Structures are given as structure tokens and as C-alpha cells.
Structure 1
Amino acid sequence: MRAVLMVLVLAAKVLAQGPYSLQGVVKDQQTGEVLAGVNLRLEGTGLAAASDDQGRFAFPAVEVPTPVLSASHVGYQVYKQRLDLDRDKIWTVVLHSRLLPGQEVVVTADRARERQTPSAFSDLGRSAIAARYQSQDIPVLLGELPGVYSYADAGNGMGYSYLKVRGFNQARVGVMVNGVPLNDPEDHQVYWVDLPDLASSLEDIQLQRGVTNSLYGSSAFGGAVNLVTSTLAQEQGVSATLGTGSYGTRRFSLAMNSGLVDNGLAIHARFSKMVSDGYRERSGVDQWAYFLSAARYGEHTTTQINLYGGPEVVQASWDAVAESVLKQNRRANFTQDQDHFSQPQYQLIHEWQFSPRLRLHNTLFYIHGEGYYEGFRDGRRLLDFGLPAIQTSEAGLFGADSLNYYQNTESDGLPVLARESQGRFTLERTDLVRRKWVDKDQVGWLGRLEWQHARGQFSAGAQLYDFSSKHQGRVMWAAGLPGMVGHQPVYYAYRGAQRAGAFYVRELYDLSTRLKLTGEVQAQYKNYRFHHQQAGNFSGEERNAYEVGHFFLNPRLGLNYNLNARVNFYASAALARQEPADVEYYDAFAGPDDLGADPLFARSDTLVQAGVVQQVTWHDPLIKPEKVLDFEWGAGYRVAGRTAKLNLYWMDFRDEIIPYGQVDDDNVPVRGNADRTVHRGAELALGWQLTRGLALDGSLALSQNYYAKFSSPYWDEAGKVVVYDYSGNTIPLFPGQLANVRLSYQWADTGLSLQAQQVGKQYLDNTKNEARAIDAYGVVNAGVTQQVGWGGAVAQVQLHLNNLLGAEYETSGYYFGERYLYAAAGRNYYLGLKLSW
């Protein structure tokens, strides 16, 4: 009877308690910051939740009094704890990073950490991205960060845009999305135009400056940009974004989040449409974009699939405009080329936590690029386009310029049209429309193993990828050539292929509680093959082939010392090398699509079969790989509401491939090796929370980028070759001073911002001639955001007023008898509305 009574009492107690309520908040163990999008599960109950933007979570009805709470998040160790819910409390879940300083998180690349990583870096979180993003490309979005200069040739931040860091163009800045490299294996460029509206799906952007021996691929000289896509495990919801702005800019986006469902699956989808006429004439863009992602979160594994991209049509504005023309029409653009391209990207990311100390990360990726650009060219030789000379009885097909198009001879010392025996004229040149087509495929694997030990962390990783490309050119139309248009002849065709592998080891070692050592070494090998195919007049000795291989060993060593809770110091030294891009193996003004142009190699072999020349194979390239030794010193200070970071750097280059200040027929800068160059400077970043809701942020970068030893031949006005010594001159096309300041105010659901930027003078060529420079300029921008609850939805309105003072300025250019410049937009606006359910 006594036992029965005891059972009844216990049962009554349990029944009286009923379902339990569980509430809590999730924080980062290192920073103390709350974490959004953390996956939480009560094991054995089927209950799941995700933390919100404030790190909070709740399980309103839990039947089990002592459940096991499991929490997992990208880049963190799995958390497990048995809870006693017979207590009224708010639980705090503290997640430990799965990495140490400088190591990557699962969907980032070379991730830096405050007071731990010995490098200069800046972060843009989701809220900062959302506040600054209008419709501009990512380089323009990053334009406020220290040491960064960016612009778009259309003048309004869309279309073809460019990112420069510390005087290096984006071919020397490593760019990654979730650890997958974006730099093209052939030309090393990043084609931001093929990533429309990607900023809408980003969780975080981190820019590291200086040599960052990317754990996945080539060393980056100027820095590395790590783009991290949005965390999937958020609350369920749908959002629609509408935007309109100056110069016919329009943006529409529709996004969906499934939230975390019971089986640990989360899905995100976004579709976007963006169009603009561009600031400059005939510089419009028409872009579709999509981003699809699905993730499965298990107890010890995370699997994520991403698919993103979008076709684009761009009215190219690649050519700068003469200053004399800009004085009459600042929006002038004589280019009539069009660019059609699509580059879908596929990622499969998998992480496996074997134990609290051991983790394996694998990524498979595939990138396919396909498209073309076409444009009008006048006065071109038929021979260069695989077309025969035309016999015609018409002597004036090209009006007053006909003498330049026909075969001619001299009569009384003057050029006249030549006639053949039957009295006809020979047409040797014409006006035409050419189309350059490219088809590229890249498939690769990234692997990383991390071992947490008592004094730090050891990691080892590798990369393999295979890349292939097909290039061809067609004549789409030609004046004065009847019957040609129908078959659109191919006038050049060539193929490229690259196979690459890299391996690295890294040790992150705690010498003491305050002093941390980072040491790593990376070995990489790349093999690139090129060969012409039979097309047009590319036959016999006009067909070239070559194969080049490069092996690099890149070490890096750094120290970080935390003096106290407020101040830290760091220093690092790194050696990095990079191979030339494909176009840099060819003559300055000609490339593999130009008939008669030979690659820049020291010797060649001619392949002859049956007495007929088949092709010429080249050996020993004259263009050299680049090598840099980078020294960095820095200090950081942080206290409640205030931060300051100062970085000093000295980068000593050998054989830097530098611009000569001119461009070729495709508007690609002419380049070559310089014996020795130096990039040195200071970077300062400040943050100050003035009052509640009012914040001031600023940055200042002062740099000197100059030739320590460099001379180059050129032709003077008399046609003689003269060697000019440029030693001591400034490397062109980067400002020596960059300053940014932003004042932000947030009160309840209202946000205000005022931002100013000052950009220093840029030289257009190597002469350091003040008459051949872009003037310094300053720009002021403002923004307003307002969020309003509307039924079951939330509406957010944003208004951006750009170039408030209507400054007239230019962003880049070159010199060719006079200054040729890219004009930027005047006063303009963007108005956006986002509805979320």
C-alpha cells in the first residue's frame, strides 16, 4: 500500500508539472557575441528550433523533464548537454569554434580572428551588407574598406566592376565563395558581372589585406576576399524586394527560407532580376540571378549544396573616352560591344566531426562558363579574319576613306587605288562585326583535416582541379563582302587546359596564454597547355602551342601578442609567388587571336609532316612568375564602444607584372615584368559608438607603390627606340591616399547614415607626369531606412542618395596622346522596398 501511494504521489507531481518550457540564448565562446541561425534539437523528442537574430530560442512545450539539448552551427563544435527543466531559468548555450586563429570555418576560406590572427582584415556582417547594398556589384560594396579602391566602367556601380587592394588589381586578389576560388584559372580575373545580386544571399564578407597564402589555390598578393553565403537555419519566411533608381535602374528579388524542419533540413531560394541603362551611354545591363541552397544538419555532420549564377547581357563600356570629348558630354561612350555570358556554379560542402578534436571538411565544385562578346571594328585586314581579298569594280565602297581599304600604289608620289589587269580594284580591308566566344569548365576538390591538440591546432589540406577552355572568333557581318554573312566564318580557334594541385600544412600554436604563433607552408603545382586549332588563316607556322609548368613553395610565419584585454600587437612575414596569366605570355599589343603574333618564348620547335609545317611549339617563356616578400606589423585596441586598428606593411617585389599605361584592342592593359617594385603603406581603421544608436566609423590608407628598378624601351616621335628608366616612379592606376568616414544613427526602426570618401590622385602611365594623372576627388553619400510592421508582414524602405554634391570625377583610364578617362555618375538615387512575411 505504501509503494502504491508513493507511485501515485510521483505521478501526480509529474502531471501537475505538465509540459515544460525551455528558453535560452546562444553565444560565441570567444567573442561573447550572440549567434543567429544555430540549429537546436532535443534528442529523442523530434523537436527542433533555430536561434533568431538576437541568439534567442524557445521550445514552448517539452514533455521530457531532462532532455538532451544538441546545438550545431557552421564552424562550431557540436554542443550537447542534459538539462534539468524543473527549474525556471534562461539557458545560455556557449558554442566553441572548431578553429583557431586564421583557420577557415566550414563555409569560409582563410578566416581571420581578432586578437589571434597576425594579419590586417576587415569584416562586413549581414546587417552592414544590408544597410549599404543597393544594386551595385560587390567591389563597389567593399569600396569603404581600408586600402580598397573600386569602380565600374558603366559609372553607376553595375556591369563590369573592378576591385583593387594595395595597388594590385583583382587578378592578384584571391576571391572565394564558401572557400571555392572564383579567380579564373586562365586570366586570374574575377567576373563580378556574372554574380548579380549575390550580396542578397551573403552572411558575411571578410577582406584580408596583404599576402594571404590561400589554403585553396594560388597565393594572393593584394589580399583575399571571403564571401560567406547566408546561414540556412533561420526562421521560415518569404521576402520580396523591389527597387528603382537613376539611369533606369530596377531590381526585383523574391526569396524563400524553409527554416529548420524536423529532419534537420533547411532550404533557401532566391530569384532576382536587375536592369539598368548605366550612367554612360550604351552601358546598360540586363541580368537574371538565382541562388538555391539546401543543407542537412546531423549530429556530427553537415552537408550543404549550393547552386547559383545567372545569365547576363551587358552593353560593354570597356573603352575610356578622350578628355576633350568628356568636356562636351560626360556620359559619352563610343563602345558598341555587347557581352552575353552565363557562369553557373555548383558546390557540395560536407563536414564531418569525428571527435571533439578531429574534423574533416570536403568540398566538390563545378563551374561552367559559356558566352561571347561582339563588337564593331573598322578598317580591319581581311587576311587577319581568314577572309580572302575581294575583287570589285566599285571604287568607293567606303566613301572618302576608301583609299585606306583598297590595295593602292603610288602615282607621282601620291597613293592611288591600284587596278588589276581586268580593271578591277582589290579590297584588302573592311568594317566588320566580330564575335569572340568562350566555353570554360572547371571541376575541383578541396579537402581539409583539422586536429585540435593541447597547445593549439594542426591542419593539413589539399586542392585539385582540372580546367579546360575553348575559344573561337567569328565574323558576324562585314561591309562590302556579299554572301559572307550566311556562314559566319571562324577566323581563330584555340584551346587551353590547366591542371593544378596544392597541399599545405599549418600549425597554430599557443606559446603562452598571450602569445600565439602561426606557421604554415604551401606547395602548389600548375600546368597550363595551349594550342591553336586550324581556323581561318591560322595554319602551318601561324599555329602555336606551348606548355608551361610552375612549382611554388610559399611559407608564412606570424605572431600575435595580447598585451591585455584591450591592446594586441602582431607581426608576420610571408613569401608568395604567382604564375603569369595566359594573355601575359603573348606580345604586349597582340594575343592568341591575332594572326602573326608569336608568344613570348625564348625558343621554338617546328613540327613538319610530309614536308608541310603543322605548328610551332614554344619553350622557355620570357615572362617570369612574380615573387613577393611581405612584412606586416600591426596593433589593435578595443574597449567598450571604441576600436582602433593600425597596420604597416612593406611588400618587396621581384618581377611584378605591371601595367605600361596603355591598352590593347580588347581594352586589356598592356603589361610586362618590372625588375623590382615596392608596395608600402599604413592602414588605419577606427570605430566609435558615440552614444546609444550613434556610431562613427572611418578608415585611412596611405600607400607608396613605386618602381625600385625598372626600365623599358619605347619609340619616340622620330621612330627611334629609346630606353627610359622609370626607377622611382609611381606604379599607375592606384591612388596613394584613400579615406572614408561613415556616421550612422539607429533609433528604433529608423536608420540614417552619412558617408564621405576621398580618393587621391592616380597616374595613368609610368612617366609620373602630372599632366597624365586622374585628379583627386571626394564623394558624399547618404542613406535612410525605415521599418514598419504591416499586418503579418514587415516592410522596410531604404533610400540612398549618392554623390550628394554632384561632383564630376573620373575613376580610371589610360594615356594615348591625351587622357582617356572613365566618367562616374553624378548625383543619383536608389529607392528600395522589402516586404517580409
Structure 2
Amino acid sequence: MRQIFIAVFMLFTAVMAFGQHTIKGKVLDENGNALVGATVLILNNHQVQTSAKDGSFYFEKLKGENFNLKVSYTGYDAIKLKVSVDSDVIVKLTQKSNLLGEITVTSLRATDKSPVAYTNLDKETLSKTNLGQDIPYLLAQTPSFVASSDAGTGIGYTNFRIRGTDASRINVTINGIPYNDPDEQGAYWVDIPDFTTSVESVQVQRGVGTSTNGAGAFGANINLQTDNYARKPSAELSLSGGSFNTLKESVKASSGLINGHWAIDTRLSSVKSDGYIDRGWVDMKSYFVQAGYYAENTTVKFLTFGGKEQTYHAWDGIDSYALPKLEYPRTYNPCGYMGKDANGNPLYYKNQTDNYLQTNYQLLVAHVFSPELSLNAGLHYTRGDGYYEEYKRDAVLKTYGLKSFRLNGSVIDYTDLVRQKKMGNDFAGSIFSFNYKKDKLNAQFGGALNNYWGNHWGEVIWVKNYTENLLPNSEYYRSSVSKWDGNLYLKANYELSTKLNVYADLQYRRVTYKLQGTNDEWNDAISAMQVLDVNKKFNFFNPKAGLFYRPNDKNDFFGSVAIAHREPTRTNYTDGTASTWPTHETLYDTELGYKFHNSVLSVGANAYFMYYHNQLVLTGKINDIGEALTENIPTSYRSGIELLGSVKPFDFLRWDVTATLSHNRIVDFVETVNVVDENWNPTGQSVTNLYHSTPIAFTPDLLANSMITFTKGDFEAALQSIYVGKQYVDNTGLAERRLPDYLVNNLRLSYSLPVKGIRELNFTVLVNNLFNKMYLSNAWSAPTISADPANPVYDKNSPVNNYFGCYPQAGINFLAGVSVKF
């Protein structure tokens, strides 16, 4: 009986093992030396290994006969190769002459053994949907990400939030150089349209992330790396167009490597669209040029890129007295309204526009001193000039520095006028990072010093019925700003054992901020424009620590704690008074993560708890140029779990899915509701309401994203589904101030046609909002109480006007594109 049992057991074991194979091998350099820590990825199933001290790697229990590997190592050219199972593989990597990109990535990005929640997107992934929409819409496939568009199409002014945190508190770098506007701290993609075409890769880190340069990260870091040089002469033409007269044109050209050391790469782009919202048109142009010297151990690269944009205002949204009911057609745009003509038809000011020109310059240097030590450094300068032009109805003349005048025997104190709010700014600085990697230690020491200076001023260029002989005193406010921002950081990732890594990251950041002059707001107390006199200094210490544990090639665990600080923005000062100016905010971030992966399935979970002191939370209100307003909240938190999964049951089919379940609360929230007269002007009276444990505005409890991809030869079809749960417009948690949830599906079809003499010929069709969902992605709230002269006592029982503006997004719409690569 015992022998029969043993025989059955052996037979069962053999059956179970049938069809399961291994791949093993070594990663070496050109001289046959082992490369430790090289990344070996099986493209068929996304299993990943890191090479050991002798350069070896080992995959087991593989189902199939042939697999495609991608092997990469910092400072070396990555290669792809097809291997058969049950054989030894020797992989030799060639050292790069273009080290700049790899070194910069090492300086700021998380690696596969960093205790950080992050997502990487490569050029191939980004290019699949790059038909004109802005970068936030291309990043919408990453976890906890919500994108919105003023014009309803994802082209022009777009905004986004990660884990409920708005874009002004998310750090963005390009080649390690800060891109956030230092004053307002947002990243304005409209200023560099079609920049995705010149991007090699993107990493989105959620939470505090690793230390970086520039604005403090309070919800995420987004690190963009621009194109590497093309080794051979090449050119690319792309053209796409579709609904709402959208048209994107782009041309790229590369010299290839000249005399083994020099290369020039260029791009020109144009993006136009009428927008879904009435008059929500955009007209944007951009360029990108890089010229570099590439030697064995040194790279010097000069880049310049920028754009010129003109967009019609669509920031007011649609007036609505109840959500989700709209009082006007979905495409209605109140911006630029001038009144009605003699026949009762509405008139709109044709030049109600935002105009901006931005140019960026970067000089980047990378040098390898030894296989263990390298340096990257950079200088940068950005110049920006622009203005808003607006038609203002029934404007009070004195608030624009204008005198009253007489017309037909009457004194005119207010009338229609056209104003321009202008700005000119400069941003310059330097970055550096020393990168050390040997045996068990991987460390970086770096920092940056940046200076921002600029002016804001306003001019009146036209006044209705103005009868004075002299032109009006056109300039009615002016302020200047100066901001210095410096930081130093030291990061280290140490291998305690073959399975356990410990990580530490220390950063010191100092900010000085001066804002002086007059604001664009009238102060009745002094009968003049509001005086600005801000002089603040901030010293922040931002420590981070974590553990990464990889017990085997299928399981990863990590845990980290971090503290981050962030200073207020210009808007926080200009939309308040000295008595209400905000203070800096502090975040205590705890992250736990797990990932499992095998030949078919990859699943993971990231749990987070983000506890804030004085968090600057979105209030739901906007100012007169559409900027979202925030206020300090003493105690609040964001907590949740991010679930990630990927399954590939067949070679031709893949399903990727993410979901975020979160609980986000303000411990005690005090709402102030202003009392207004019949003209909606504040009377100076207000009512305060206290709420306990209320949800944080614009932070849905549930987010989900699904991508099902079918591939057959050169054809690919993908269905993306985005679900955004209910979200509150302000911080009261009242049901009548809540945006409804929505589910949007996008279909992509692409085909690569082989043509002799052409490197690639690609066709792509995007069907956005496939099932024509009528949804709202964003809103603002302005609750008020109407003055009642008969009963001038107001309290929490007074009836509130729940006044809203909503931002409808386009129904089903199409984009189609073709690209030719030579």
C-alpha cells in the first residue's frame, strides 16, 4: 500500500510539474564583469528579477516554451531578446554614451526596491493615446487620479487631483528641474502643448514620495524625462483630428549621432480645438529642441522648449442652483457675456481670452567618475509673459482707479469696461546630484537653488461711454514677487540582506517669499486697492524612512513613514487679508504595500494614512479668474487602500485594473456663509456653522480604472473604463452640495502597417466617452444667505442659497490620428 501511495504521489508531482519550465542566466558588461542589480523583465507576463552579486537571475514555474526578456541597467543600453526555456542565457549590455537621462532618473525616481507607491509610464504607453489631449488625461490610467477639463475635452486648461490633492500641491519636475509655477505652485500644461511627444518616460509617485526639487509634494510627485537622442537620423510626422474641429499637427526630426558624439533633436507642434463648451476654443503652438555632446563618461545637453497659447475663458462653469440639474444647456458658457442686442440675442466679447508665452531653457551635464560614482547637474531659466483680457459688466469705476463722469446729466459711478490682468515672470536656478552605487549601498546627495521674480499688474483698456478728454489711468494695481527656494537631500538604500532593504531620505528646504505692492481687490477701509506686504521665511525638515522586503521572486512588501511641509501660494495671500493669511501645512504620511506576481497574474495593494496639520483644503470656491481657493484646516486626514491588478490569461489578452477605496475627513469644520444684498454684494454679516467629521471636498471614496487590451499581430484594441465616485463640492458633507458619480468608457483601436522604406506607419482611433455619458467632472460652490431687512438677525437656521457652477464634459467624441516614422 505504501509503495502504491508513493507511486501515485510521484505521478501526481510529475503531472503538476509538466509544462512548468525555468529561465536562468547572467547579466554581464562588455568585459564580462557581472552587473549586480540589473532588472530582468519577462515581457510576456511582467515577472521581474534583479540580478545577484554574480549577475545571475532565475525564473521558475513558467508555462510556455518561448519568452521575451527585457534587460536594463543604469548607464547601459537596455536590450530585448527572445529566449527558450530550460537553457542558460548570457546577456551582455553595452554602456551608454547618453548617460544623462539614466543618471537623472536615479537621482529623483523610485526604484523597484524603494518603499514608495509609484507607477511608471514609458514612451510607448504614452504615445498610444497622444492625439492632442493634455498630459493629465494621459495619466488618468494611474491609480487615485482624477482629471477634469474646463472646455470639456481634455484640451486646453485641464486640472487633476491625486488622492484628492489638487495640482498646486503636486510636485512636477522635467529632467529633475522644477516645472511648477513657484508663485501659484501649479503646473500649467497649456503652456507646453503636445509636450508628451517629447517625453521618454513618466513616473508618478503617490504620497510624499522621494525627495525632489521645487515645490513641496503633498499628494504626489510627477517626474518627466525628455527624449533620449536618436542614434540614427530619423523623422516623424503625425496628424490627428476629430470632434469639435480638433486638429493636432506635429513634426520631429533628429540628426542621429554625428561623428560619434553630437546629436540634435527637434519638434514643432500645433494644437487647435473649438472645445465642447461654447467658445471654449484653444489655439496652441509649441517647440522642443535639444542639442547634445555624448562621450563615454560625459554628457552635455542643452534643451529649449516652450509654447504659445490663446484660449477662450471657460472657467466660470455653468450656473446652476441645484446639482446635478443644470439651469442652462450643457455647453453654455457665461464668460464674456456683454448683454443683449436690440433683438434680445446675447452678445459675447470675442477677445475674452487667456494669452501666454513661455520659453524654457535647460543646460544639463552628467559625468561618470567611476562605475560607483556619477554626477548630474543642471542650470535652467524660464521666461513667461501673458495676460487675461475680460469684459466686465457694471464695474465700479473707483475700484479701477477711475473717476466718475457725467453722461446726459447723470453721474456715472459704474459702467462696462475691458480690463487686462498682466504678468511677466522669470525663474532660474540650478540642481545637482551625486550618485553612488556599490555592493549593498545605493545613495544620492543632491539639491537645488532656485529664484523666481516677477510682476503682476492690471490695466483698463476701454470704458463704455467714458467722456473724459484724457484716456483713463489704465494701470490700477501692481505687485512684485520674489521667491528663493533651496533644498539639500541625502538618500540611501542599503541591502541588509538579499531579501531586506532599508531606506532613509533626509531633506532640508528653505523658502523666502516676498510679495509687495497693491492687489486687484478694492479696500473700502482705506478707499484704495488692497495693500500687499508679505515677507515670509520657511525652514522645512522633511525626513523619510522605510523598509523593502522581497522574500522571493513573486512577493514584495514595503512600509514607509514620511513628514512633509509646504508653504502657501500667492492666491492664499491675495484672496485673503493680513488677518486671514494662511500658515504652512504639515503632512505625516504612512504607507504599506504588497505585490504578488507570477507568469499570469500580478496583484498589489498600497494602504496609506495621511494625517495633516493645517492642511490647505479646497473650499469649493473660486476667484474671479477661476483659481480654486483653499483654507487652513487644523486637523484632517486621508486614508485608503489602492488595489492594483493585472492578468494575462492568453498572449493576446491582458486586463489591468486599479481601484482606490478611501476615507477622508476633516475633524472639525467651520463654514462661514456670507449675507448678501439683492445685488449679491456682501453686507458684512455672516453665519458660521460647525460640522464634525466631514468628508474632504473633491475626494471620492471610490475610484476605479480598468483597461482590457486585445492584441493580434499589428492590431490592438483597448477598452478603458474610468469610475469616479460621488464627491462633495465643499467640506460640509451636505448631500445637496455633491457631484454625482460617473462611469466613462473610452475605446482605442490602433494598427501598425508595415510599409517598405518606412520605419513605422501607425493608425489610431479614439472613441472617448463611448456610451455618451452626460457627466460633471468639477464644480464650484458659493452658498449665501439673502439679506432680509424685516428680519436682520441671521443664524444657522437662515435659508441658504446653494449657488453652483458646474463643468460638463463632452459626450461621445472621436479622435483619429496617423503617424509616419522614417
AA aligned to 1:806 is N
Tell me the distance in 2 between the aligned counterparts of 1:787 and 1:634: 38
- Unpaired stretches in structure 1, ≥5 consecutive residues: 1-21, 36-53, 57-70, 80-88, 395-423, 589-598, 602-620
Shift in alpha-carbon separation, 1:649–1:310, aligned structure 2, 3 A: same
Q: Which residue of 2 aligns with 1:661?
A: 620
**Is structure 2 residue 745 aligned with structure 1 residue 767?**
no
1:640 maps to which of 577, 588, 599 = 599
Q: Which residue of 1 aligns with 2:656?
A: 697
CA shift, 1:303, in A, is 1.5
Tell me the distance in 2 between the aligned counterparts of 1:676 and 1:106: 37
Q: Which residue of 2 aligns with 1:146?
A: 143
Q: Which residue of 1 aligns with 2:638?
A: 679
Say whether the 8 Å CA contact 2:107–2:444 is kept in structure 1.
Answer: no
Q: Which residue of 2 aligns with 1:31?
A: 39
2:778 maps to which of 805, 812, 819 = 812
Q: Which residue of 2 aligns with 1:611?
A: none
Paired residue secondary structure (2:228)? coil
TM-score normalised by length of structure 2: 0.82
Residues 429-448 of structure 1 correspond to what in structure 2 (within 5 A)?
429-448=414-433
2:393 maps to which of 339, 357, 378 = 378
CA shift, 1:322, in A, is 2.0
CA deviation vs aligned residue, 1:299-328 (integer Å, no higher than 9, x gap): 111112211111011112111112368454
**Is structure 2 residue 693 aligned with structure 1 residue 728?**
yes
CA deviation vs aligned residue, 1:734-788 (integer Å, no higher than 9, x gap): 3221111111122221111111111101111222111211110111111111111
Shift in alpha-carbon separation, 1:388–1:74, aligned structure 2, 3 A: farther
Q: Which residue of 2 aligns with 1:830?
A: 815
Paired residue secondary structure (2:258)? coil
Q: Which residue of 1 aligns with 2:204?
A: 207
Say whether the 8 Å CA contact 2:401–2:473 is kept in structure 1.
Answer: no
| Mean CA deviation greater in 820-829 or 480-489 | 480-489
CA deviation vs aligned residue, 1:404-450 (integer Å, no higher than 9, x gap): xxxxxxxxxxxxxxxxxxxx321111111110111110111001112
CA shift, 1:183, in A, is 1.0
Q: Which residue of 2 aligns with 1:565?
A: 553
1:503 maps to which of 488, 491, 495 = 488
Q: Which residue of 1 aligns with 2:794?
A: none
| Mean CA deviation greater in 258-267 or 515-524 | 258-267
Paired residue secondary structure (1:600)? coil
Residues 745-784 of structure 1 correspond to what in structure 2 (within 5 A)?
745-784=710-749
Shift in alpha-carbon separation, 1:483–1:232, aligned structure 2, 3 A: farther
Shift in alpha-carbon separation, 1:640–1:258, aligned structure 2, 3 A: farther
Say whether the 8 Å CA contact 2:399–2:529 is kept in structure 1.
Answer: no
**Is structure 2 residue 70 aligned with structure 1 residue 111?**
no
Residues 83-98 of structure 1 correspond to what in structure 2 (within 5 A)?
92-94=91-93
Shift in alpha-carbon separation, 1:169–1:109, aligned structure 2, 3 A: farther
Shift in alpha-carbon separation, 1:568–1:285, aligned structure 2, 3 A: same
Paired residue secondary structure (1:199)? helix
CA shift, 1:544, in A, is 3.4
Q: Which residue of 1 aligns with 2:766?
A: 800
Paired residue secondary structure (2:572)? helix
CA deviation vs aligned residue, 1:69-128 (integer Å, no higher than 9, x gap): xx9x9941699xxxxxxxxx9984236999xxxx983257621222x0101111111111
Q: Which residue of 2 aligns with 1:5?
A: none
Tell me the distance in 2 between the aligned counterparts of 1:34 and 1:298: 31
Shift in alpha-carbon separation, 1:714–1:512, aligned structure 2, 3 A: same
Residues 414-563 of structure 1 correspond to what in structure 2 (within 5 A)?
424-482=409-467, 489-532=474-517, 543-563=531-551
Residues 14-163 of structure 1 correspond to what in structure 2 (within 5 A)?
30-33=38-41, 75-76=74-75, 92-94=91-93, 105-106=103-104, 110-114=108-112, 116-163=113-160
Larger radius of gyration: 1
Say whether the 8 Å CA contact 1:237–1:836 is kept in structure 2.
Answer: yes
Say whether the 8 Å CA contact 2:319–2:328 is kept in structure 1.
Answer: no
- Unpaired stretches in structure 2, ≥5 consecutive residues: 1-29, 44-67, 79-87, 337-351, 678-682, 783-801
Tell me the distance in 2 between the aligned counterparts of 1:457 and 1:696: 34
CA deviation vs aligned residue, 1:512-563 (integer Å, no higher than 9, x gap): 1111111111111111111116999999895432311100111000110001
Paired residue secondary structure (2:604)? strand
Paired residue secondary structure (1:129)? helix
Q: Which residue of 2 aligns with 1:600?
A: 578
CA shift, 1:664, in A, is 2.3
Shift in alpha-carbon separation, 1:801–1:582, aligned structure 2, 3 A: same
Q: Which residue of 1 aligns with 2:245?
A: 248
Say whether the 8 Å CA contact 2:620–2:729 is kept in structure 1.
Answer: yes
CA deviation vs aligned residue, 1:460-509 (integer Å, no higher than 9, x gap): 11210111011111112111113689567111111101112111112211
1:582 maps to which of 570, 584, 588 = 570
Residues 249-328 of structure 1 correspond to what in structure 2 (within 5 A)?
249-323=246-320, 326=326, 328=328
Tell me the distance in 2 between the aligned counterparts of 1:743 and 1:351: 40
Tell me the distance in 2 between the aligned counterparts of 1:143 and 1:285: 21
Tell me the distance in 2 between the aligned counterparts of 1:236 and 1:566: 41
Shift in alpha-carbon separation, 1:485–1:808, aligned structure 2, 3 A: farther
Tell me the distance in 2 between the aligned counterparts of 1:758 and 1:834: 31
In the alignment of these two chains, the number of paired residues is 708
Tell me the distance in 2 between the aligned counterparts of 1:488 and 1:245: 46
Say whether the 8 Å CA contact 1:751–1:784 is kept in structure 2.
Answer: yes
CA shift, 1:360, in A, is 1.3
Tell me the distance in 2 between the aligned counterparts of 1:364 and 1:460: 17
Q: Which residue of 2 aligns with 1:331?
A: 331
Tell me the distance in 2 between the aligned counterparts of 1:215 and 1:833: 37
Tell me the distance in 1 between the aligned counterparts of 2:94 and 2:688: 63
Say whether the 8 Å CA contact 1:679–1:703 is kept in structure 2.
Answer: yes
Shift in alpha-carbon separation, 1:713–1:828, aligned structure 2, 3 A: closer
Shift in alpha-carbon separation, 1:226–1:348, aligned structure 2, 3 A: same
Tell me the distance in 2 between the aligned counterparts of 1:346 and 1:27: 35
Tell me the distance in 2 between the aligned counterparts of 1:268 and 1:340: 28
CA shift, 1:373, in A, is 1.0
CA shift, 1:452, in A, is 2.7
CA deviation vs aligned residue, 1:694-720 (integer Å, no higher than 9, x gap): 111111011122102332433468975
Residues 738-749 of structure 1 correspond to what in structure 2 (within 5 A)?
738-749=703-714
CA shift, 1:32, in A, is 1.9
Say whether the 8 Å CA contact 1:217–1:524 is kept in structure 2.
Answer: no
AA aligned to 2:125 is A
CA shift, 1:661, in A, is 2.1
Tell me the distance in 2 between the aligned counterparts of 1:290 and 1:208: 27
* Identity in percent: 29
Tell me the distance in 2 between the aligned counterparts of 1:322 and 1:258: 53
Tell me the distance in 2 between the aligned counterparts of 1:428 and 1:360: 64
Say whether the 8 Å CA contact 2:130–2:138 is kept in structure 1.
Answer: yes
TM-score normalised by length of structure 1: 0.80
Tell me the distance in 2 between the aligned counterparts of 1:671 and 1:248: 36
Tell me the distance in 1 between the aligned counterparts of 2:473 and 2:241: 40
**Is structure 2 residue 373 aligned with structure 1 residue 358?**
yes
Shift in alpha-carbon separation, 1:651–1:277, aligned structure 2, 3 A: same
Shift in alpha-carbon separation, 1:519–1:348, aligned structure 2, 3 A: same
RMSD: 3.0
CA shift, 1:635, in A, is 0.3
Q: Which residue of 2 aligns with 1:189?
A: 186
Tell me the distance in 2 between the aligned counterparts of 1:796 and 1:374: 41
AA aligned to 1:768 is G
